[in-house]
Chains A and B, each alone.
Chain A
């Protein structure tokens, strides 16, 4: 019944009342849409958007928690430029990202390719690879600290067994602490990105693979010419997330090294935390946060532009 009525209405020439009804419908849909996102948006606005706006204001003041925040203009940013510790934190963050992003990318993709095959017990292996991601970070830090122990740790025992006379000091050496942190963070994150890649791999059209195989393409050729291009939406998403997550690395550093030895693993988020919450220089810490914010924005925008150019 309803369908026949609807066809009749549609079949008739449009009338003003129909337009009104349509605009009312559009209005209703808009309101409905807003009411769906409102609970989330309210939370976002209150807990994220407003604080960000305040953060920008704070970065131009010398606020120290109490009392008034005096306007100091760009003084905080000038101080950042001359601050040796900020420079070290910035370089360390870039160093960490430069190691962590490609390594995690390759490992996660490799795992996904491996576990995309029809193996016996593949569900078990997929779950196992995901475990580190859901393990408590404090537990991870304690266990890896033991594993990395220079004199008694299993890692160095194994290295010595294979004939390495002076295995690295890992977390105790300023040269090796960052690579050690990168190893742990890669181990921790690989499962998460593997799941994303696995989802992406399901969308690669089987026909393309078959066609390539018929044309005589080798496995490696098929990987580079079929799998990777088909995965582009996923690789783009993974790269963006990995980059942002690397820039804002904090928790793992705090529980594993606290930035040490010396300042060898001091990263930007920790610099912000120390200046703000330990030294009560919230204005200055806000300025550093703004710097980190723009770093993330710029790199992400660049990635978007690059992705757009490639997809044309």
Chain B
């Protein structure tokens, strides 16, 4: 009886993973070369995430011999469930890499095929995230990057000029303060900052020169946190604690015009358009500005702004071989290539391949902002990976998440929290 309780928290599952890892062959059904081939691909929330079906349909239309079947996973436990399936030998043939930080786990576990020979277009972004020791273990098909969404109606109401793409973070903070003052009494804040650690750390890690979280030095975060804490104290944005207590969503805060600005990933473009069309969000004019910069050297529309974002990629299960492997590689080339990119852009998703034609398609979606700066923000940026490809990344991000909640909630000053995080890095991550 007692023993039963002790193991409750997932330990049983650890062991069942262990057991299942010893059993089972790959789900290969060994089709003859030249005959009809079926490959499976993982996905999540298929009803609301059409990208997998779009890629599968597009490819099958071109290759009638190949059937691409989707295998749905729960989005919140995607990597855990996928890990269990792979360990049991029943994983999908084409594995969608939802989070970059799991790629090295899969690669080190010998679950992924080296796909360096899949031909990719010249100007595709995000490939370096899948590079491990000079070989590629996935191809990117989607590359979101962080930008600033702004509500033109609220800017007009405040009597302020729209962003011009020249902002540093100090300019952004000043604007947010001014907006908050001008909008006082309307119930709208200058900006909304979501609770994720990315909203502060993602920018700092990408933009501060020589910052590298794998080094275990986190001093570069200080300035970014101080700025945000000041905005919080001045009530230019909802503070972290209230946000958590009320479980605010960024879709609700921006969509219902509670905030004039929102730093967020470009995936929000498609969501916002859909929500405005469905009436879930208010109808208002909005635009996209490039991410504010660390200093003037990268700010302005004659420069290439630096921002961050992780690609979403496709890898191939190491158990796949023969005709399926050929078909899977061909599918990867399709998804990452021009045709795949076009079909994704047509449903409001930002493909990893962003050439002029693709950008054109992206902005032809009804409801997408049409101004020049939005187009610049979407098409021009240097997007650095949020999660560097390393087996230490998951542990480091957990240390930094604790720093984020401690600092943002006001329970620890930033300088002390950085010191704690650096000590924890030495103590828990850098132990080899």
- Verify if A33 is at the interface (C-beta below 8 Å from B): no
Q: Is A48 a contact partner of B405 (Cβ separation < 8 A)? A: no
- Per DSSP, are chain B's interface residues mostly helix, strand or loop, or mixed? helix
Task: Find chain B residues with CB under 8 A from A250 CB.
Answer: 9
Closest chain B residue to A278 by CB distance?
Answer: B394
Task: Find chain A residues with CB under 8 A from B246 CB.
Answer: 145-146, 149, 152
A47, A64, A175, A244: the one within 8 Å of B5 (CB): A244
Cβ proximity bits A2-31 to B, threshold 8 Å, 1 near / 0 not:
000000000000000000000000000000
Q: List residues of B (3-61) whose CB comes within 8 Å of A's CBs.
A: 3-12, 14-19, 21
Q: Is A149 a contact partner of B241 (Cβ separation < 8 A)? A: yes
Q: Is B398 a contact partner of A279 (Cβ separation < 8 A)? A: yes
- Verify if A52 is at the interface (C-beta below 8 Å from B): yes
- Verify if A228 is at the interface (C-beta below 8 Å from B): no
In whole angstroms, how far apart are the Cα atoms of A87 and B408 in the complex? Answer: 24
* Partner-contacting stretch, out of B120-128, B207-215, B267-275, B423-431: B423-431
Q: Is B15 a contact partner of A52 (Cβ separation < 8 A)? A: yes
- Verify if B297 is at the interface (C-beta below 8 Å from A): no
* Partner-contacting stretch, out of A98-106, A208-216, A266-274: A266-274
- Verify if B403 is at the interface (C-beta below 8 Å from A): yes
Cβ proximity bits A130-168 to B, threshold 8 Å, 1 near / 0 not:
000000000000100110111111000000000000000
Q: Is A83 a contact partner of B411 (Cβ separation < 8 A)? A: no
B5, B109, B247, B405: the one within 8 Å of A65 (CB): B109
**A169-B410 contact, Cβ under 8 Å, with A48-B3, A278-B398, A296-B6:** yes
- Verify if B80 is at the interface (C-beta below 8 Å from A): yes
Closest chain B residue to A292 by CB distance?
Answer: B6
Cβ proximity bits B236-251 to A, threshold 8 Å, 1 near / 0 not:
0000111011110000
Task: Find chain A residues with CB under 8 A from B8 CB.
Answer: 248
Closest chain A residue to B318 by CB distance?
Answer: A66
**A262-B110 contact, Cβ under 8 Å, with A82-B427, A84-B427:** no
Q: Is B245 a contact partner of A280 (Cβ separation < 8 A)? A: no
Q: List residues of B (388-432) whose CB comes within 8 Å of A's CBs.
A: 394-395, 398, 402-403, 405-406, 408-412, 417, 420, 423-424, 427-428, 431
Q: List residues of B (164-198) whose CB comes within 8 Å of A's CBs.
A: none
- Per DSSP, are chain A's interface residues mostly helix, strand or loop, or mixed? helix
In whole angstroms, how far apart are the Cα atoms of A48 and B7 in the complex? Answer: 7
Q: Is B18 a contact partner of A63 (Cβ separation < 8 A)? A: yes
Q: Is A79 a contact partner of B394 (Cβ separation < 8 A)? A: no
In whole angstroms, how far apart are the Cα atoms of A136 and B395 in the complex? Answer: 31
- Verify if B228 is at the interface (C-beta below 8 Å from A): no
Task: Find chain B residues with CB under 8 A from A274 CB.
Answer: 398
How far is the CB of B188 from the nearest CB of chain A, in Å?
A: 17
Q: Is B2 a contact partner of A280 (Cβ separation < 8 A)? A: no
Q: Is A286 a contact partner of B11 (Cβ separation < 8 A)? A: yes
Task: Find chain A residues with CB under 8 A from B244 CB.
Answer: 145, 171-172
For the complex with contacts A169-B409, A276-B10, 14 further pairs of A-B residues with Cβ separation under 8 Å are A47-B16, A51-B16, A52-B15, A58-B15, A69-B18, A84-B424, A240-B2, A248-B5, A248-B9, A259-B402, A262-B412, A266-B402, A280-B394, A296-B5
| B→A interface (CB under 8 Å) | 2-12, 14-19, 21, 80, 83, 86-87, 105-106, 108-111, 240-242, 244-247, 394-395, 398, 402-403, 405-406, 408-412, 417, 420, 423-424, 427-428, 431
Q: List 22 A-B contacts (CB under 8 A).
A: A48-B3, A48-B4, A48-B7, A48-B12, A52-B3, A55-B14, A58-B15, A58-B18, A66-B87, A66-B106, A145-B245, A149-B241, A172-B244, A172-B411, A173-B409, A174-B412, A250-B9, A258-B405, A273-B10, A278-B398, A282-B17, A297-B2
Chain A to chain B: the 4 pairs with minimum beta-carbon distance, closest first? A66-B109, A262-B406, A51-B15, A149-B245
